[in-house]
Protein backbone atom coordinates (compact mmCIF):
# COMPACT_ATOMS: atom_id res chain seq x y z
CA UNK A 1 0.00 0.00 0.00
CA UNK A 2 2.81 2.44 0.80
CA UNK A 3 4.86 1.83 -2.32
CA UNK A 4 8.60 2.01 -2.66
CA UNK A 5 8.75 5.81 -2.62
CA UNK A 6 7.40 6.00 0.94
CA UNK A 7 9.64 3.31 2.50
CA UNK A 8 13.10 4.42 3.65
CA UNK A 9 14.28 1.03 4.98
CA UNK A 10 12.93 -2.37 5.95
CA UNK A 11 13.84 -4.13 9.19
CA UNK A 12 14.19 -7.88 8.70
CA UNK A 13 13.53 -9.75 11.94
CA UNK A 14 11.89 -12.88 13.25
CA UNK A 15 11.64 -12.10 17.01
CA UNK A 16 13.79 -14.74 18.64
CA UNK A 17 14.39 -16.93 15.57
CA UNK A 18 16.97 -16.91 12.83
CA UNK A 19 15.49 -15.77 9.53
CA UNK A 20 13.76 -18.62 7.74
CA UNK A 21 13.33 -20.69 10.90
CA UNK A 22 10.31 -18.96 12.42
CA UNK A 23 6.68 -18.61 11.32
CA UNK A 24 7.17 -15.84 8.71
CA UNK A 25 6.85 -16.73 5.03
CA UNK A 26 10.06 -15.09 3.83
CA UNK A 27 9.69 -16.08 0.16
CA UNK A 28 6.32 -14.30 0.20
CA UNK A 29 7.86 -11.25 1.91
CA UNK A 30 10.62 -11.18 -0.72
CA UNK A 31 8.06 -11.40 -3.53
CA UNK A 32 6.05 -8.50 -2.09
CA UNK A 33 9.19 -6.36 -1.73
CA UNK A 34 10.27 -7.17 -5.29
CA UNK A 35 6.74 -6.61 -6.67
CA UNK A 36 6.77 -2.97 -5.53
CA UNK A 37 10.28 -2.47 -6.90
CA UNK A 38 11.88 -1.62 -3.55
CA UNK A 39 15.68 -1.50 -3.79
CA UNK A 40 16.56 0.44 -0.65
CA UNK A 41 18.12 -0.45 2.67
CA UNK A 42 17.28 -3.63 4.55
CA UNK A 43 18.45 -4.05 8.12
CA UNK A 44 18.72 -7.38 9.96
CA UNK A 45 17.37 -6.87 13.47
CA UNK A 46 16.48 -9.15 16.36
CA UNK A 47 16.78 -12.44 14.48
CA UNK A 48 18.82 -14.30 17.10
CA UNK A 49 17.51 -17.05 19.42
CA UNK A 50 18.24 -16.53 23.10
CA UNK A 51 21.64 -17.91 24.03
CA UNK A 52 22.77 -18.38 20.40
CA UNK A 53 26.02 -17.01 19.03
CA UNK A 54 25.13 -13.62 17.57
CA UNK A 55 27.85 -13.69 14.88
CA UNK A 56 26.78 -17.11 13.59
CA UNK A 57 23.14 -16.00 13.55
CA UNK A 58 23.85 -12.84 11.59
CA UNK A 59 26.01 -14.77 9.13
CA UNK A 60 23.11 -17.19 8.61
CA UNK A 61 20.59 -14.35 8.33
CA UNK A 62 22.63 -12.46 5.75
CA UNK A 63 23.16 -15.57 3.65
CA UNK A 64 19.45 -16.40 3.88
CA UNK A 65 18.40 -12.94 2.72
CA UNK A 66 20.98 -12.92 -0.09
CA UNK A 67 19.34 -16.12 -1.35
CA UNK A 68 15.93 -14.42 -1.44
CA UNK A 69 16.97 -11.02 -2.76
d(CA 63, CA 27): 14
| 39-49 core/surface letters (b: 16 or more CB in 10 A; e: else) | eeeeebeebbe
User: How many of the other CB atoms lie within 10 Å of CB of 57?
Assistant: 18
Could you report the per-residue pLDDT of 31-47, keeping only the tens digit for each?
A: 999 998 998 999 998 77
pLDDT at 58 > cutoff 90: yes
d(CA 31, CA 43): 17
pLDDT at 7 > cutoff 90: no
pTM for this structure? 0.84
Amino acid sequence: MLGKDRICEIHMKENGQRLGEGPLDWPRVAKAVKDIGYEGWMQIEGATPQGADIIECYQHNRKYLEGLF
